[in-house]
Every structure is written in structure tokens, then in C-alpha cells.
Amino acid sequence: MCHWIASNNDLKNLCDQLADSELLALDTEFIRTDTYYPKIALIQLSDGKDCWLIDVLAIDQFSALKDLIESPDNRIIFHACGEDLEVLDHSLNIQPTGIFDTQIAAGIANVGYSMGYARLVGALLDIELDKQETRSNWLARPLTQRQIDYAVIDVLHLHTLHDMLVEMLEEQGRMTWFDEEIKTLFGLVTQRKSNQNFFVKFKGAWRLDAQSLVTLKVLCLWRESTAKTKNVPKSRIAKDSVLMEVAKQMPEYKHQLHSIRDWHPVAIKRYGDAVLNQVKDSYDAPPIPANEVPQPLSKVMGHVFTTIRQKLIAVASEQNIPQEFLCNKRELEAILRSVENGELALSNRIAQGWRKQWVKPIIDAELKN
């Protein structure tokens, strides 16, 4: 049964009712198309029997919900919870800690790596879901019946998936693996809040000279701050390609900005002076360490990378683990770059976690050859 919660009193009563429910399923609906920060519109909550749709637009007191979701006695079931955690944290100052993520559990149980909710429901429950309302306007009121049905479905099967996946993980002896992944998840969520080194993700950034690289970092930090202040998407300020081109050209005068492709004249009028000031100020910014920006692997390391990947694929097949869960491409590249920079650096999850028994010996053996 579905219930609509649209008042502070109703939410408080609901949270009192669910206080002893040790297992709850949760999902959120939000809009982020024209803002920097997500606009939360709806929270779906289920105890496995009933479902409650919490209209956050009609409520302004969320302390009871915070207590319920953050309670150490409660476990919250999500699917692919990264964005849900972000929107709950930013919008309502709610930080769940007792989490069961069905996407992560499905990967460890070898059902499938990074599976969407609809795919996982299809794989385990043989139910086909309609996901057409994903991008609809969740801030509109009243919601359509299709939106309501969609919102309910997003939590309807989570308890069943949880029970099935817990059984799989226990049969495979992988529950401790899952617990380790959940701990890692919180670190990843924290990293997403930090944009200090966003510039290193720019394709071709390693080709820039030392000063242009510093300028690119300064420009990225300026854009991030401006987008947050104005609460608009970063691309409204300037696209990545625009910042990259500014860093290459190092312009001094405003008329030079008009030669930069993909930067609209209106944006240049609005932000051009600020960009030129950032370029000028960047000459006084501290240099960036040479090893901070990822470069393509050398031919030798490229061969080592391919060999290690092949061996990891073989181990993953033998152990019934998705290969990307053992060591993904970006992670392996970072490890091999650390070797090229003079010192092997392994992430904690490879140096100490459950992966260590397989991944570390393969890497060590190949680096000795």
C-alpha cells in the first residue's frame, strides 16, 4: 500500500511508527538539470510491506527523519546510493551510515557489475520494469499517476533483492567483502565533494606546459566556486574545453577570448573579465608537482598493463568475481604510473583488503620481470 506524506506532523508520526523497523528501503527523486546542487523533490521509503512517498516540498521539519535514517539500529537499503547520499546530505543534512547497496552486493555476488536497478530486478526476479519516468519533472505538483507508480517501484523490490543477495553473499562467504566495499563507499562519497584536483581529469592536460597547467587548476577552482555561488551547472560558466583552451592560449585581453571555440559571447561578456583576472593571478600560484597529472603509460608499462589485465581476468573468472571489482582500469593505470614515478603505491583496498590475495601477487610478479 502506498501512502502520501505531506506535512510535518505526518512525517513525525511515520518516523515514530518505523522507529523499530530494522530494515528500510529508500530512494530519492531530484532534479539537477539547471542547478549546481540537486533539488530534492521526493523521498520513497518502504518497510517491505508498505511504501511512503514523502513530499519534501511540503515539509520543513526533517529531524525525525534524520534520526530514523541515521539510527545505528536501522539498516537502509539503496540501489547505487552515491547520488542519493549526496542529495540527502546537501538538501537535508542526513548522512546514513548503516547501508546495504544492492548494486554493490550484486557485483560481489557475481550477478553483474554496476547493474542498474531495472536490470537487477529482471535478472533476479524476472520482472520487467518501466523506467520511462526517470527524467520527468519531479518538482511538479501534483505528480502524475505514472510518476507515483514509478516512484513506488523504485523501492518496491529492494527488500526482496536484499534478502536474495544476503543469502548469496553468505553462501559464497563474501559478506565481509561486502562490508569492506561499503566502508570504501563512504570514502568515495567524500572524495566527490572535493574538486581541488578536478583539472587532472582533463583529457590532454599532461601536454600543457607548467604554467598553463597551473592556470588550468586555478580556472577550475574559480569555475567551481562561481557555479556554487550562483547555483548553476559548471558548463553554464564555461565548458571544460573552454578552460583548456584558455590555459593553452593564456590570453591577456578580452578580445582574445572571442577566438575560443564553444564559449558563447554572452558568457564571455559575463565572465570574461573574471577569467582574465584568474589567468593573471595564476602566475603567482604555486607550481604543480610533475607526477600529479596522469600521463599515458610508456610502451613498456603499457605491455605490463595488458599482461596484468589478462591475468586479472583469468583470476576473476576462476573466482566468479567481476574483473572490475578486482582492480579497475583507472586503478591499475595509477599503480603503474606510481612505478614509473619511482615508487610503487597501492591503494588500501589492494594492499590490505580482500583483493590483496589475488591482485598484489600478480602486480608484484609482473613488475619483477
**Predicted confidence (pLDDT) per residue in 18-64, tens digit:** 999 999 999 999 999 899 999 999 999 999 999 999 999 999 999 99
Average pLDDT, the chain: 93
Q: What is the pLDDT of residues 184-230, one digit of tens each?
A: 887 766 666 666 688 998 999 999 999 999 999 999 999 999 999 99
* pTM, rounded to two decimals: 0.91
Domains of the chain, each with CATH number or no CATH: 2-193 (3.30.420.10), 198-291 (1.10.150.80), 296-368 (1.10.150)
**Confidence tier at 342 by pLDDT (50, 70, 90):** confident
| The pLDDT of residue 291 is above 90 | no
User: In the prediction, which pLDDT does 191 show?
Assistant: 63
Residue 219 is placed in which grid cell? 580556472
Q: Is the peptide bond before 361 cis (omega within 30 degrees of 0)?
A: no
Whether residue 52 contacts residue 3, with contact meaning beta carbons closer than 8 Å, is answered with yes
Dump strand ranges (E) for the chain.
Answer: 2-5, 23-31, 39-46, 51-54, 75-78, 99-101
Question: What is the sign, positive or negative, of the torsion defined by CA atoms of 237, 242, 245, 251?
Answer: negative
User: In the prediction, which pLDDT does 102 show?
Assistant: 98
- What share of the chain in percent tops pLDDT 70? 97
